[in-house]
Amino acid sequence: MKIHEYQAREIFARYGIPVTDWVLCYNEAEVTAAVEKIGLPVVVKAQVLTGGRGKAGGVKFATTLEKAQDATRNILGMKIKEYTVEKLIVADGVEIKSEFYVGLTIDRISKSVLVMASKEGGMEIEEVAKTNPDAILKYPVDPDLGMTPFLARKIAFALFDDYALVKQAASILQKLYQIFIDTDATLVEVNPLVITDKDELYAIDGKMTFDDNALYRQKEIYALNEPTEDELKEIQAKEKGLSYIRLDGSIGCMVNGAGLAMATMDMIKLYGGSPANFLDIGGSSNPRKVIEAMNLLLSDKNVKVVMINIFGGITRCDDVAKGLLIALEQIKTSIPIVIRLSGTNAKEGLEILKETDLTVVETMSEAAQKAISLINAKPLKHTAI
Amino acid sequence: MSILVNKNTKLIVQGITGRDGSFHSWKMKESGTNIVGGVTPGKGGQTIHDIPVFDTVEEAVKATGANTSIIFVPAPLAADAILEASEAGIELVIAISEGVPTLDMVKVTPYLKKKGTKLIGPNCPGLISPDESLVGILPGNIFLKGKIGLMSRSGTLTYEMVNQLTTSGLGQSTCVGIGGDPVAGLYYQELLQMFEDDPETEAIVLIGEIGGDAEERAAQYIKEHITKPVVAFIAGQTAPPGKRMGHAGAIISSGTGTAEEKIAAFESVGVPVARKPSEIPELIKKLLN
């Protein structure tokens, strides 16, 4: 789960990390009031749940009120990737002497929280990682010890020469680590962390993402969730025990297991088709789930053919077949359905489907090829990935 | 021979009275696994499928001499269950539970290291040494005893692969589902080395997926340490960036962790990568000849 910059700023401020003054605004009048409150110059920044705001023109520096108002008119309503800008912040346009990067994430290799720090602040860290990987310093944090004062100092000394700044940075690092642990974050990033003309450190941007598995114990964080329409569909699916991600192809997929679901999508592409979605119905064989899954698949108007790929382990193929029969009775679709059942109770499952007009195949390759041939039989516009 | 589990495996089931724990205890027992006990706090003294239930892992270990534990408890309780098994001296813990918070796993890791406990999972289907021991939720009937070692980040995709192997007459020494989470127990490198050291295993199948750089690191490890033939498959070649594909670890962010990079990494060290599961048996047969 992601949150907005202004929400990250609120969390930072609550933990005592110095953040430049800001005001959240939804319209020009609020921006005018904000500029009066904060004083010029200011930065007007779009608040959307995606990166690349600067490149898209969603961040503007303004030295006069008129320029701030102009920027507001440009930014509100602007589209950044798939997000429409509905709110922005007006932030203090402090004088910057230099910019740094500090980020905390989880490292799969050391199985610990990893601090990344760099003097190349302000740029996207992924860019730095590609062009100048040595400029990113990495420090794993021992989970038993946490961010000790000496580790925080060590990292700070690697970034700053002035001891006054080292002390400020070490304190910020300890607070960032505490935030990471307290909120079950997967990423806490300050980019840039700046030295102002008064030789003080400030966070002038913040990015945070959170562990979806831990949201059950992070009620305050979860309350900040602003899902997009597609994400809302994904959340609703998850509540029903389904894992759904919409894509832009024409073959609707229903598979049990995430890995097999991905491999199924790959197979469709390998044979020249394009998947309309990722849909993992999980390990249970409740027929209700199959019904929900069919409803979800067919709610996507791009779907021209449905491909079901089940390898029964815990999932029993006969239960899937039963669910499918009930679903088809309820939904009454003319969309062709290709189904492959293998594994636990496959024979019984196939027996149940014998009287239907579903296309039954034996392997995953066959299922993909058959599904594609059924789309090609009709005049459709083909969506490439 | 085989790795990790075999005829000497004495298994306890943590969460044995729950729906999944109970069902799979029965399935495992049916397939011949030596289940010596179960643990559910507050239900000590009961039996399930003729298996004695204990209140704590410590009691279960004392009474039965168990050396392996499988965990079915709900995700919020999983980390504690892993620690309890480790503290009681269990050597190998298999955590099936799905949805365990990542930081919980970060917190248990140092303790497991200190105690020398091996962990598989969480969010994994478990493992099997066919005809010896099944510890997990894998469908036992698709496996065939043989000489292929298999490791995978996915459950059902493993079944798909195993089915391809078995129907081609290629049996398996041990098949391990390592799980799809970002912070997990035993991973490719440790398992590659175990298969390398196992005299019965003649070839290795590695099934990876998008996210992280574990496959790239495995490729490097194979180049430096593994002499047996390895064949790979990567799921998620068509996954869109930034989206979590069911497994928390299966997310491509910022241009790393893509299928193309992983495939290239394997091919650069001479590990052939199947483009579809059905190609795996042929690739193995080619390498073994």
- What pLDDT does A385 receive? 32
Closest Cα in chain B, distance from residue A244 (Å): 8
- What pLDDT does A356 receive? 86
Interchain CB contact of A30 with B (< 8 Å): no
B49 a catalytic residue: no
pLDDT band at B246 (very low <50, low <70, confident <90, very high): low
Cβ-based contacts of A278 with chain B (< 8 Å): 239, 243, 245-246
d(CA B111, CA B84): 11
Q: Give pLDDT tens digits for A34-43.
A: 999 999 999 9
The answer on pLDDT for A384 being more than 50 is: no
What is the SS3 assignment for B136?
A: strand
Q: Contact A108/B214, CB-based, under 8 Å?
A: yes
For residues A219-244, average pLDDT: 87
- What pLDDT does B256 receive? 65
d(CA A215, CA A1): 9
The answer on pLDDT for A285 being more than 70 is: no
- Are A371 and A252 spatial neighbours (Cβ–Cβ below 8 Å)? no
Closest Cα in chain A, distance from residue B63 (Å): 31
- If you search the block for the tokens 């009681």, which residue do you land on? B88
- More confident call, A291 vs B39: B39
Interchain CB contact of A52 with B (< 8 Å): no
Cβ-based contacts of B210 with chain A (< 8 Å): 262
pLDDT band at A377 (very low <50, low <70, confident <90, very high): low
Specify the pairing of strand A251-255 against strand A305-312.
parallel
CA distances (Å), origin A59, targets A29, A265, B112: 18, 38, 47
3-state percent helix, strand, coil for chain A, nearest multiple of 5: 40, 25, 35
d(CA A109, CA A113): 10
pLDDT band at A379 (very low <50, low <70, confident <90, very high): very low
- What pLDDT does A28 receive? 96
- If you search the block for the tokens 């091996």, which residue do you land on? B118
Interchain CB contact of A217 with B (< 8 Å): yes
d(CA A8, CA A12): 6
Specify the pairing of strand B230-235 against strand B273-274.
parallel
The answer on pLDDT for A183 being more than 90 is: yes
Closest Cα in chain A, distance from residue B60 (Å): 27
Q: Give pLDDT tens digits for A133-170.
A: 888 999 999 999 999 999 999 999 999 999 999 999 99
Question: How many cross-chain Cβ pairs, A to B, lie less than 8 Å apart?
Answer: 168
Q: Could you give the count of Cα atoms lying within 13 Å of A193 in the half-sphere of its Cβ?
A: 27
Q: Give pLDDT tens digits for A14-28.
A: 999 999 999 999 999
Q: Contact B163/A342, CB-based, under 8 Å?
A: yes
Query: What is the complex's ipTM, to 2 decimals?
Result: 0.89
Laid out side by side, the sheet with A59-62 consists of A22-25, A88-92, A42-46, A59-62
b (16+ CB within 10 A) / e for A173-200: bbbbbebbbebbbbbbbbbbbbbbeeee
Interface test with B, best of A213, A217, A234 (most B CBs within 10 A): A213
Chain B residue with Cα closest to A272: B238
Element housing A7 (H / E): helix A5-14
Is the four-CA dihedral B224, B228, B231, B234 of positive or negative sign? negative
Specify the pairing of strand A243-246 against strand A251-255.
unpaired
- Nearest CB neighbour to A259, from listed B110, B155, B237: B155
Closest Cα in chain A, distance from residue B229 (Å): 23
Q: Map A17-36 to HEC letters.
A: CCECCEEEECCHHHHHHHHH
Residues 6+ apart with CB under 8 A from B77: none
The answer on pLDDT for A72 being more than 80 is: yes
- If you search the block for the tokens 């995606």, which residue do you land on? A50
Q: Contact B109/A312, CB-based, under 8 Å?
A: no
What is the SS3 assignment for B193?
A: helix
- Residue A182 backbone class (left: φ over 0; alpha: ψ -120 to 50; beta: rest): alpha
Please tell me whether the overall predicted TM-score, pTM, comes out greater than 0.95 for this model. no
Interface of A with B in 288-347 (CB under 8 A): 311-315, 342-344
Q: Contact A111/B276, CB-based, under 8 Å?
A: no
d(CA A203, CA A195): 9
Q: Contact B255/A143, CB-based, under 8 Å?
A: no
Closest Cα in chain A, distance from residue B201 (Å): 25
Q: Could you give the count of Cα atoms lying within 13 Å of B6 in the half-sphere of its Cβ?
A: 8
Which of these, B111, B108, B113, B159, lies nearest to B138 by C-alpha position? B159
Cβ-based contacts of B209 with chain A (< 8 Å): 259, 262
The answer on pLDDT for B254 being more than 60 is: no
Is the four-CA dihedral A284, A290, A294, A296 of positive or negative sign? negative
Does the N-terminal peptide bond of residue A192 adopt cis geometry, omega within 30 degrees of 0?
yes
For residues B84-111, average pLDDT: 97
